[in-house]
Amino acid sequence: MTGRDRFHPDVQRYLDGEHVEGVAQRDIEEADRFAKAVLEYGASAEAPDARVDAAVMEVVRARVSQREGSFWQWLVQPNLVRIRPALMAAASIALVASGAALVSLLPRTSPTVADAVPTVLVRFELRAPEAMRVTVTGSFDQWSGDRVELQQNTATGVWSGTIPLTPGRHEYSFVIDGERWLPDPMAHAQVDDGFGQVNSVIVVGPRGVVRS
């Protein structure tokens, strides 16, 4: 190194891969030595081998077994379907019976209607009187964004729609006018999606919504 305690801005640009002119040959050589030494240091660092893959997959398979075991227990044992009291009043999401024709006839306070069916019809609702279009999307539709369009009740400003969900945990979000993502303000849980956004969580059992 040359004794100066920092790289000249032009040398920084040179190290960034930019084209620079008028930099002293001595500074260029110093920068090259620095970059080469660091690169060699990195090249000698070992990367973890395929044992990581095997260990991860072992845990993943165990997770699947646990989940299947839990699901079986859930099926064969009597279960209590729990719905938040707030759900009945605000009705962010309401469980409905299997059979779309019955959906609008069922009172929202009938959460225990349950058939052992592979999917459960779940009603999503959001009050957004100013919105022109509202969709709901989530892990159940691979976050397509626009496949499930909600219908507006113009008198109340509430948008709603019913979709079949498989038992399990789902994450979802509303999308307002195709661009603004909005987590369900009434969901029991919100989780970070890893990109600084928030997803809402719903848990569906084979006999109905367990948590919403």
Partner 1 sequence: MGDAELVRRVLAGEVELYRVLVERYRAEFGRYATALLGGDVDEAADALQEAFIKAYDSLASCRQPDKFKAWVFRIVTNQCHNARRRRRLHAPLETISTPASETADERLNTGEVKTAIGAALEALTEEQRIAFVMKHIDGRSYAEMAELLNVGQDALKMRVHRARDEMKRRLEGVV
Q: Interface residues with partner 1 (CB under 8 A)?
A: 1, 3, 5-7, 12, 15-17, 33-35, 37-42, 44-53, 55-57, 59-61, 63-64, 139, 142-143, 169-171, 173, 191-197, 199
Alpha-carbon Rg for the chain, nearest whole angstrom, is: 28
Closer to partner 1 by CB, 53 or 86: give it.
53
How far apart CA 104 and CA 108 sit, in angstroms, is: 9
Contacts (Cβ under 8 Å, ≥6 apart) of 103: 96, 97, 121, 123, 162
Closer to partner 1 by CB, 170 or 207: give it.
170
115 close to 98: Cβ distance less than 8 angstroms: yes
Instruction: Give the shortest CB-102-to-partner 1 separation in angstroms.
Output: 29
How far apart CA 92 and CA 201 sit, in angstroms, is: 12
Instruction: Give the shortest CB-157-to-partner 1 separation in angstroms.
Output: 26
How far apart CA 138 and CA 118 sit, in angstroms, is: 19
Closer to partner 1 by CB, 85 or 194: give it.
194
Closer to partner 1 by CB, 11 or 113: give it.
11
Contacts (Cβ under 8 Å, ≥6 apart) of 13: 20
159 close to 151: Cβ distance less than 8 angstroms: yes
Instruction: Give the shortest CB-199-to-partner 1 separation in angstroms.
Output: 6
Instruction: Give the shortest CB-112-to-partner 1 separation in angstroms.
Output: 26
Instruction: Give the shortest CB-82-to-partner 1 separation in angstroms.
Output: 21
Contacts (Cβ under 8 Å, ≥6 apart) of 157: 127, 128, 129, 130
Closer to partner 1 by CB, 50 or 80: give it.
50
Closer to partner 1 by CB, 3 or 85: give it.
3
Placement of tokens 């030494």 in the chain: 37
Instruction: Give the shortest CB-116-to-partner 1 separation in angstroms.
Output: 20
A 10 A CB-CB count for 76 gives 8
